[in-house]
Structure 1
């Protein structure tokens, strides 16, 4: 019998949506000098979220840890093939395809942030940093679209709303124990710190 299982802790959910919104906002304001301060503020926020996730990947709750979704290449291929069958493989946490997307987003987000800092603080060759920044941003946008498509496909095939799960933290499963703590206090701190940073940075600018 399926039960309602808590899978995603609050900090993981706050990270997910804050990263999504900060990247979207930074991408949309990238070409406008008028919104330069907003672009920079969102870029710093993106970097902060990535830094948090790298730490949380080692000390967070069970399904948020990197160890829970490090898959061999053959496992990724097998999962992708299973999506074409009548019984696709199901994972309570991140599936192999989703895991690949997460690592790509973290890597590209880091490259975007580092190259952006290089441009802003005028470190090294400006042309190189600008090219890296643009290429990484466009690649990340592509990964985001593929990730969204994968979420929708998985939701249909597994008959579960993965978008809702990333809001509520809950999924349906049998004979699985929920994570013991939500760390709601940390999620609240993250949300308040993010909002406070944006307000302070834009107000100062």
Structure 2
């Protein structure tokens, strides 16, 4: 049977740096949550995973500007009309919302980036008044450190858990409808009609990601070192 323009073909959607970011952040969130509940010596891992999350978010904010096509924020920021049409099931043929992140997936990405950023920031200045302090806690007033700690140990972590739970529920929902959202985030490819724009994912792109990742980790190391120098 001859192929047509509508015949699905493997198309690179998620570049390797985006995939590594996704799964590494997921692991970091799990480690942070579990180690925080265990406490004691496990808090060392809590801090390490938190620093990893810090670096990952810093990297993703830049990668959202220069990464592969479908990893760029500009390609999954939707106008209100597009979102309404999506929710009503009236998406127009020219709206490629099922290629990368759809409107709900877009909300999930931005919400997680935002709340993880807040969680990292509050963790950096937190002080549990027992044995653990963030590296920057000396630079804020005690009232600020106390408020940050309350948020970090309370609403912050549960908002993240809620968002992650909704993300997993969405994956299950789409799987039941015949759409596998996990496999493309593992392989990078989705079966899409010929002519669908693909994300750049060559070695030059990956080298750029490596440089940006190193810069993000340098930023994390510098911020952490401020606490050691104070």
Quickly name the TM-score band, shorter chain normalised: 0.7 to 0.9
When residues 156 and 71 of structure 1 are mapped into structure 2, their CA distance, relative to the original with a 3 A threshold, is same
Residue 4 in 1 paired to residue 10 in 2? yes
Match of 1:169 in 2: 188
Q: 1:55 to 1:14 in 2, by over 3 A?
A: same
| Larger Rg over CA atoms | 2
User: Taking structure 2 as the reference length, what is the TM-score of the superposition?
Assistant: 0.74
The Cα shift of 1:173 comes to 0.5
TM-aligned CA deviation for residue 73 of structure 1:
3.5
- Contact kept, 8 Å, 2:16 with 2:206, in 1: the verdict is yes
Q: Any stretches of 5+ residues in structure 1 without a counterpart?
A: 84-88
Task: Tell me if structure 2 keeps the 8 A contact 1:10–1:187.
Answer: no
Is the alpha carbon distance of 1:179 and 1:118 closer, same or farther for their aligned partners in structure 2, counting shifts above 3 Å?
A: same
TM-score by length of 1: 0.83
Q: Is contact 2:32–2:50 with CA below 8 Å preserved after alignment?
A: yes
Instruction: State which drifts further: 178-187 or 147-156.
Output: 178-187
SS of equivalent to 2:191: strand
Count matched residues.
Answer: 189
Shift of 1:34: 1.8
Q: 1:132 aligns with which of 134, 148, 151?
A: 151
Decide whether the 8 Å contact of 1:10 with 1:186 is kept in 2: no
Distance in 2 of aligned mates of 1:106 and 1:54? 8
Instruction: Name the CA shift for 1:165/1:53 in 2 (closer, same or farther; >3 Å).
Output: same
1:16 to 2, 19, 22: 22
Q: Partners in 1 of 2:52 and 2:35 — Cα distance?
A: 14
- The equivalent position to 1:64 in structure 2, one of 54, 63, 71, is 71
**Kept in 1: contact 2:63–2:209 (CA 8 A):** no
CA offset at residue 155 of structure 1?
3.1
What CA distance in whole angstroms lies between the structure 1 residues aligned with 2:175 and 2:69?
22
Q: Partner of 2:99 in structure 1?
A: 92
Report the counterpart of residue 148 of structure 1 in structure 2.
168
Match of 2:34 in 1: 28
- Residues 83-122 of structure 1 correspond to what in structure 2 (within 5 A)? 91-119=98-126, 120=134, 121-122=136-137
Query: For the Cα contact (< 8 Å) 1:79–1:97, is it kept in 2?
Result: no
